Amino acid sequence: MLAKWLNVLAGAVSDESFTPAVATASLSSWEQTARGECASLASTYVTDMSPRLLFDRMPLVKCEADTRTWLARLAHDLWVARTHPDLAVDRLREATGAADAAYLDLLAAVARAESGSVAEAQADLAWHVRRLQVAFADLSGALSAFPRKIQVV
Amino acid sequence: MTKHGLLPRVLVIDDVLGRSHDRGRNEERANLCGAVLLRDVTGDEDGPTQDIAAPVAEAVFFRGQSPVRSGIGARVENDLEACLAEVRAGWTGRAPGEQPWSLVLLDLCFYTGMVTSESDQRKRGMPEGRPRDSDPSEYFGLRVLEAIGTEFPGLPVVLLSSTSRDDVSRSLSVLGALGFLNTGDLELRRKLEDYLWRHALSPDATGTIVGYSSDLLAALRAARRSSPAAVSVLVQGERGTGKELLAAFLHRCSPNRATGPFVAVDAGALPPELYASELFGHLRGAFTGATANRVGKIEHANGGDLFLDEIGNMPAEVQKGMIRVLQDRHVIPVGANEGVDVDVRVVAATNQDIEGKVDLGQFKADLLDRLRTGGVISLPPLRQRRLDIPLLVDAFFREAVAENPNATVRELSPDALAAIEAEDWPGNVRQLRACVRKAVQDHPDVDYLYPLHFELSRRTVSPASLRVPIPPSVDAAEARQTSQSGLARAAEVLEQIDVGSVATSDLAGSLPPLRRAYARLVARLARAALEATKRHSPENPSGKVLIHPAMKLLQGDSSLTASAAADLLKRSLSIAPDAVADLMQDELLGEGYKRAVKIRPTKVSRRDNEQS
């Protein structure tokens, strides 16, 4: 949608039903759901994906309590050392913040466009749309670093 | 006739983009089209439209599932047979003159199952999906890709998906996909344009090279692929297939040579002794007749392309010089000791078995190797692209009519097109063009061109009935005119009938049915005269058609000259062309008319028809 918006602003596409208001309305899913989901993933990933959880389930839950304590911690530390989940989480947090900032700036640019000169507003809007487009692409890259499947070997 | 579309025609098979709604448009589809500048020509929506100023392609969207439209409660399933039917309709099953698919963009992950209120809320008409839908090993898109590769080899397919390329990189290579486009890619539009350029079987956007047949489109694609490189290319094809046009197309497509010169040399037309001079140039005094320095065609093509036709006729000495040009990028004029550096790409062409000539020692193998460094492009003969004949005829017809502004010719009859399509055309497109142009030029005064107006080797028209048909029912106005006075007038005119001298204005206007009947009568008389005066011989047992004696017989005038006889026959058959249209399909009359036009090709005006 953002790519189309850029083409509309450049005059390559004309669509009377595609207005800045319509475009930003379709982007509202960012602040309604996606932003929260990204933040939630970043804050819970390490806890939810740690192999430590396996010690709360069969069969590892049958280990002695002392063994479970140090072994679970060891498994967690090894996992962190080998996969560096903190890096992916940090990148996700940064990308989420950048996308959110670009989104809010775009909303402000849309508001300005309704009051300022057309030419300046077009250029300003195009810059912000492009910025949000890049930010979402970065966020997509950050999310792709997280595993989509979990394999227990 | 089909209008020649010049944009690539893309089929997009995608569950999200291909679905349609009872009300409104598919916004995801509109967004993609707006993002990559595709013109949606699916025709399944009634929502607001968007205009793409300069589309890169036309696109037809297909869901690949049943049903195409789904609401809450519907069960959506993948439909491989429907996918193949949709592909088939625009590939092997298309009508003559219809543009085929240039490229297929194919999604990977197709969601199936029930459409619930939640899934409909997320995306209108989309089902919940099943776990296996998003399993790369179960992707429906890969099944479609495999089926397309099996049934329609040669049809270019590119994957278009929001999923990761890494999951399918091996499969897409094995199953024959030409590439992968990620819908989230910031460079999606540029990459799609790249794929269309490199892989799509697209027609010539300028309309110079006309046609949609697979072999021709493959040749155009090969030319596009070769165009960026600075190395030589060899074009092979029979005479008249458009080798020079293809070379010019390749030149136009080249990003770094299109602004340079395009110089064409017909090597077959050069006398051997002037061959070297023509190509390499010469110094004054280099040979008898060289009175001044001359720059050769190779230097003229510096910075651009040199088209060398009929390279099989190149003399051995010249072949050596060409090797130097291709190898060292250096040309030495005849008579000179030093030369100049040149940056020339050579596009060579031949209709001969050039490798056979190498085997016979008539053509240098290393020159041939250098000429085809950039590849060999084959142009199909016209008999292998019969689907293009209607398009070509239409283009040449319009061209000829535009060059004859006073011509009244409006249309080719279906019989004429059928007869043209039945020909072998050994001279290929060039011969076809000459034939169509000649038909228009020789018959500028008729409204419709029939087979008899074309010089065809076989005329397959059905024999015309010579029975004078009952005229169409006379309308009330005509009936009122058929009065006693009108009949008396008709009787008076008919008693004075003298073929070729009666003023048809006497018959026109007040008695149209009589005019038509008169025209048919004269045509029948002319036919009888032609039949009676045929000259039969052992070499020509069916008899040679002779206009001069036939018209002398018809007119009853032995002093009639040959040119006057030709005029007479033409006038006799032009009294009311619509009334004799079916008679004109008769072989004998057609042959006679054709010969008359050959003898007297100048226009016979209405004034000539009415003798004072």
pLDDT digits (tens, 9 = 90+) for B165-203: 888 888 888 999 999 999 999 999 999 999 999 999 999
Task: Provide the strand spans (E) within B444-487.
Answer: 448-449
What residues form DSSP beta bridges with B242? none
The residue of chain A nearest to residue B48, with distances taken between CA atoms, is: A17
Query: What letter represents residue B180's amino acid?
Result: F
- Eight-state DSSP code of residue B334: B
Q: Which two tokens stand for residue B169?
A: 């990189």
Residues of chain A positioned with their CB less than 8 A from the CB of B27? 26
Provide the number of CB pairs (under 8 Å) joining chain A to chain B. Answer: 53
Determine contact, residues B578/B515, Cβ cutoff 8 Å.
no
CA distance B409 to B441: 10
φ, ψ (nearest 5 deg) of residue B294: -140, 130
Pairwise CB contact (< 8 Å): A4 & B184: no
Residue B351 burial by Cβ neighbours in a 10 Å radius (0-12, 13-18, 19+): buried
Pairwise CB contact (< 8 Å): B53 & A11: yes
Most distant pair of Cα atoms in chain B: their distance:
97
* Helices and strands in chain B: count of H runs, count of E runs: 24, 21
pLDDT value, residue B513: 63
CA distance B280 to B294: 9
Determine contact, residues A103/A31, Cβ cutoff 8 Å.
yes
- Eight-state DSSP code of residue B24: S
Q: Which two tokens stand for residue B26?
A: 């598919």
pLDDT value, residue B58: 95
CA distance B514 to B532: 27
CA distance B96 to B88: 14
Q: Half-sphere exposure (CA, 13 Å, Cβ side) for B141? A: 34
- Eight-state DSSP code of residue A79: H
Residue A122: pLDDT band (50, 70, 90) is: confident
Cβ neighbours of residue A76 closer than 8 Å, sequence gap 6 or more: A50, A51, A52
Q: Which two tokens stand for residue B431?
A: 């011969």
* Beta carbons within 10 angstroms of residue B94's beta carbon: 15
pLDDT value, residue B525: 87
Q: Which two tokens stand for residue B76?
A: 């959506």
Residues of chain B positioned with their CB less than 8 A from the CB of A4? 30-35
CA distance B485 to B511: 11
pLDDT value, residue B560: 83
> What is the predicted ipTM?
0.86
CA distance B308 to B111: 55
Q: Nearest CB to A133: which of B32, B164, B186?
A: B186
Instruction: Write out residues in chain B with pLDDT < 70, as ranges.
Output: 1-5, 458-513, 577-580, 602-612
- Eight-state DSSP code of residue B444: T
Stretch A58-66: mean pLDDT: 91
Determine contact, residues B237/B380, Cβ cutoff 8 Å.
yes
- Identify the three-state secondary structure at position B263: strand
B37 in reach of chain A (CB within 8 A)? yes
DSSP characters over B196-234: HHHH-----TTSSS----HHHHHHHHHHHHHTTS-S-EE
Cβ neighbours of residue B283 closer than 8 Å, sequence gap 6 or more: B290, B293, B333, B334, B335, B336
CA distance B587 to A9: 65
Place of tokens 């204005």: B505
- Eight-state DSSP code of residue B13: E
Q: Which of residues 176-235 of B touch A (CB under 8 A)?
A: 184, 186, 188-189
Determine contact, residues B351/B236, Cβ cutoff 8 Å.
yes
B162 in reach of chain A (CB within 8 A)? no
pLDDT value, residue B271: 81
B465 in reach of chain A (CB within 8 A)? no
Q: Which two tokens stand for residue B256?
A: 């770094």
CA distance B560 to B358: 61
pLDDT digits (tens, 9 = 90+) for B304-331: 999 999 999 888 889 999 999 999 999 9
CA distance A79 to A84: 8
- Eight-state DSSP code of residue B521: H
Determine contact, residues B548/B554, Cβ cutoff 8 Å.
no
B51 in reach of chain A (CB within 8 A)? yes
Q: Which two tokens stand for residue B489?
A: 């007038």
pLDDT value, residue B485: 53
Query: What letter represents residue B543's amino acid?
Result: G
Residue burial B485-516, b: 16+ Cβ < 10 Å; e: rest: eeeebbeeeeeeeebbebebebbeebbbbbbb
- Chain A contact probe: residue of B16, B29, B31 with most A CBs at under 10 A: B31
Q: Nearest CB to A3: which of B27, B52, B188?
A: B188
Q: Which two tokens stand for residue B344?
A: 């020339």
